[in-house]
Chain A
Amino acid sequence: MTTEEIYARLVPLIAAYLPEDVLADEIRPEADLTAELNINSAHLVDVVLDVEDKFDIELSNSDMENLRTVQDAVDIVNSKITAVS
């Protein structure tokens, strides 16, 4: 899977967690999930669960620690699926 494909799959998943006043087109690779997209920090754990389900991978505590931006999510997913295949 290319990083573009991973990104395309992540966008709708992240969009579900956006507060009402943030539109889905504000999602960019460099956007900070909590600081810019205003996703409730408590919901990050739910985003991670959805990512795990979507890509059939598992994220560790340290993965979560490194998860700040959408690009971070892409990188984490990419490393996990590459490692598997």
Chain B
Amino acid sequence: MTALKDARSGIVHFPELQRLNFSCQLGAKPGISQDLKDNYFTELQLRSFNSSGILYGVVAGMEALANAGIEPAGKDEEPLWDLGIIFGTGTSGVDKFREAIYKLDEGKVKRLGSSTVGQTMASGVSAFLGGLIGAGNRVTTNSSACATGTEAVIMGYEHIAAGRAKQMLCGSCSDDGPYVWGGFDAMKVTTWKHNQDPNNASRPMSASASGFVPGSGAGALLLESLESAQDRGADILAEVLGGSVNSGGQRKEGSMTAPNSVAVVRCIREAVRNAGIAAEAIDYINGHLTATIKDATEIQNWTEALERNGDEFPYINSLKSLVGHGLAASGSMELVATILQMKQGFIFPNTNCEDLHPEIANLIDASRIPQQLLKMEINIAAKASFGFGDVNACVIFRKNLL
């Protein structure tokens, strides 16, 4: 929380990336202590454990569950039939998979042991969480690139709204390291200009934005039906009002790597409509804003979708200036940041955009992109994430229950 308020960067230089000839030698990953690992994994599990995304997902998921005051099912008890999990990822256990591939190529398939499948299957993270919690409702993993985390929350919300579960643990995670980040480095979508200057490297909305800094980690939210939460006297942080998920079909300017703006605008509008609010009611936007040339396009799409611009535009910020682009984990980590701001009534400062992109400055007033900590009540917040494959997700939260 203080890191957020103080806008402390978690981006660092990785000598390993330099050795591997990466253009962008920067990245961000959470620090997980041995004690924390021992909380959730047995010594035996850790012996063969090499899947950072699952580790991050388990830590975030279990923390969300504990914060919600929910106890896992006892070992010999019934599973929690009304609690499900939707925990997404882009790809699971790439380091574990790399280990396996080396052994396989040496003809030593037997040496893979029993731990390879659980850590490399896409649903590894939801499976680990499901076992720890004893979840008895739907337990699955979604995957929609950088929209994964936001999509997971919308999917969990829809499942509860359909009356099929009372509680859904929703989130997403991403592995760290060269085997996840390499493909993006090769595409030249990461920045190569700040290797000696990690704090200033991730520059969302800046005129000098030159690509994103890859990140990793996980975020998780426990969603619950209002009735169930009130019955057990849960501390309700915010209410999901609605959301929308769509795709631009990779038509018009949409492609594998670029969004079709028509679909983005439609997704945001649909989320607002689904939430049953007026676009004017939105106080705050947590943007996707990765620090590429597409940031200005995103702002343009928000102004069009909400029909708000200049100083009528909501406040907006991007967590990516501090923790880079967490890829599949980005949406859920940014949702956690969104909820923390709503809970405590502040907007964390945007960093590294002192040279605001001129196209963005033409669309919205600079005051809407606070560069200092802003204490204010956020009642309604919008969060959107956009992913490769031209997929979009937008969700709307309200702090005060009616």
Interface residues of A (CB under 8 A from B): 16-17, 42-43, 45-46, 49
Contacts and interface: CB of A to CB of B under 8 A. Distances in A.
B115 interface: yes
Contacts of A17: 44
B44 A49 contact: no
A46 B111 contact: no
B113 to A, nearest CB: 5
Contact of A45 (B43, B44, B47, B110): B110
Contact of B110 (A16, A42, A43, A49): A49
Name A's interface SS: helix
How many chain B residues sit at the interface, stated as a range, is: under 10
Contacts of B111: 49
16 contacts: A16-B43, A16-B44, A16-B47, A17-B44, A42-B114, A43-B114, A45-B110, A45-B113, A45-B114, A46-B48, A46-B113, A46-B114, A46-B115, A49-B110, A49-B111, A49-B113
Contacts of A42: 114
Interface of B: 43-44, 47-48, 110-111, 113-115
Contacts of B113: 45-46, 49
A42 B118 CA distance: 11
Return the 10 tightest CB-CB contacts between A and B, nearest first: A42-B114, A46-B113, A45-B114, A46-B114, A49-B113, A43-B114, A16-B44, A45-B113, A17-B44, A49-B111
Contacts of A49: 110-111, 113
A43 B113 CA distance: 8
A49 B113 CA distance: 7
Contacts of A46: 48, 113-115
B45 to A, nearest CB: 10
